[in-house]
Structure 1
């Protein structure tokens, strides 16, 4: 039976008072974990002051920025649908950069990254992520994916598991074509078929709609995985994260009360601290 850890988060100080992030009660027999927000300044980062660098990967040029300490604990950030690397919340990235060498990048056809002719796929985007990890000089990295970035991360876990140390999947789904994600499906159709839609956004929409998903492969994922979901997410509802967590043996599941889709933009400190906690814990048997 899969051991899904439903993490109960106790957030102190004003966070509890304002109820911006909440908890799911851990059922009997599961582990709980308290995350305390450190009363320390968050490192400031600036996209404008951080130069874009480039690597040739799979026939395209991927633009990226890097932040944080110069050590061998890298963290690759996979952004969501229609967004570029500068859309990551700076407080969130600042927290992660306290202990990790953080890389943010643009998917092919978006922002600073170039594209090739023809339609790309989610599997191609996963190949790009694997290729970028290699190009940056690493055998593997920790990864954090949000929304479409989580879909790319799931494909990466299935196609290139050796490239992933630990994976965080935020606002995840295993398909955009299931009943639970009907709002997402409509949004993607509008961007795939609408007029005056950016070419890169249109291709991302098509790639998501054509992705068959990877539900049948979830049980084969052996990497350490944490899913983060918000109870107010109507784009990729929490029930989908629960389903995915139930399929990945030993995965973590963290739910934030009243947080909508892509919650790191709404509760960056809480998302940053729980991500750091997950990445730092040694889950090897004693």
Structure 2
């Protein structure tokens, strides 16, 4: 795996080292191409969620419910939520920061929240196809994407199956499979949800889709889009070691580790996550 220069980013909450693929040890840090980014005071207002904002689009045989923020901005950013999540679960400060510079789209997966479903069991690949078709339905050839937890699994599939639909991708709290030793806790949570008769139907189907998914590991090395992974060192559901493995497979990818942050870190450090995401999306990574 070709290793490129390491970039160090200092944040107010924690020190996060960004490694390009193949550079996965802090002992490898050099002074070459070091960029220092400091958090700035912000007067940004969090977004608010209101049912009047919800719009609908017919996609891939179902109706997908979505919201949009930052509509005055040109560059689109599609937010892909995690297992059992709905649009309203995104941290409002985090979305407010992103929507200052990006046209941000939130949506509910099929069978979840306000989106419809069909009777048959769906797959992770179908959720990826939904995202790809939604990008087209919203009038775009491609979008930046941010996927969290299960949303990062869907995003990996999107990068593998529909790379032309993606500009840059951020994979947060990522795993390439729920059926590996490192994700034993995640596997247990999914199994419990799949077998619990009181779980909502859509949540059960999401759990089954994840449990049946063969994983994306073999396809990661073929990804050529610009990708950044964000992980928290206190994440015991999708541990940082899995993010390291993914970063090592995607040539030129970035890896950001937030010290002491658990699963779905944007809920715990929304300003820091918002800043690092916008830094990555704005950076021109074309060869000089």
TM-score category, normalised to shorter length: over 0.9
Residue from 125, 128, 141 that aligns with 2:127: 125
Asked if residue 61 in structure 1 is aligned to residue 53 in structure 2, the reply is no
Match of 2:11 in 1: 11
Q: What is the alpha-carbon distance in structure 1 between the residues aligned to residue 40 and residue 214 of structure 2?
A: 41
Displacement of 1:214 after TM fit?
A: 1.2
- Partner in structure 1 of residue 95 of structure 2: 93
Aligned partners of 2:187 and 2:211 also within 8 Å = yes
- Out of 246, 253, 263, the position equivalent to 1:261 is 263
Q: Distance in 1 between matches of 2:27 and 2:50?
A: 42
1:194 deviates by: 1.4
Query: Between Structure 1 and Structure 2, how many residues are aligned?
Result: 279
Q: CA deviation at 1:195?
A: 2.1
Structure 2 residues without counterparts, runs of 5 or longer: 18-25
Alignment of 1:48-87 (within 5 A): 48=50, 51-87=53-89
Shift of residue 4 of structure 1?
6.3
What secondary structure, in the 3-state scheme, does the structure 2 residue paired with 1:98 have? Answer: helix
* CA distance in structure 2 between the aligned counterparts of 1:5 and 1:277, rounded to whole angstroms: 17
Cα distance change, pair 32–201 in 1 and its aligned pair in 2 (3 A)? farther
Instruction: Show the 5 A alignment for 1:264-275.
Output: 264-275=266-277
1:163-198 CA-partner distances (Å, limit 9, x unpaired): 000000000000000000000000000001112110
- Per the TM alignment, residue 50 of structure 1 is displaced from its structure 2 partner at its CA by 5.4
Q: CA deviation at 1:51?
A: 1.0
* Deviations 1:93-131, CA, capped at 9 Å, x for gaps: 000001000000000000010001110000000000000
> What is the aligned-residue RMSD (CA, Å)?
1.5
Aligned mates of 2:105, 2:83 — CA distance in 1: 18
CA contact (8 A) 2:46 2:94 kept: no
2:216 is matched with 214
- Provide structure 1 residue ranges, at least 5 long, that are not aligned to the other structure: 16-20
TM-score by length of 1: 0.94
Q: Residues 77 and 145 of structure 2 are in contact (CA less than 8 Å); yes or no, is this contact kept in structure 1?
A: yes
Q: Quick one: distance in 1 between partners of 2:133 and 2:111?
A: 16
Q: Indicate the SS of the match to 1:97.
A: helix
Q: Give SS of 2:53's match.
A: coil
In structure 1, what is the Cα distance between the partners aligned to 2:33 and 2:82?
30
Instruction: List structure 1 segments (4+ residues) > 6 angstroms apart after TM superposition.
Output: none
CA shift, 1:33, in A, is 3.3
Deviation at 1:10, TM superposition (A): 1.3
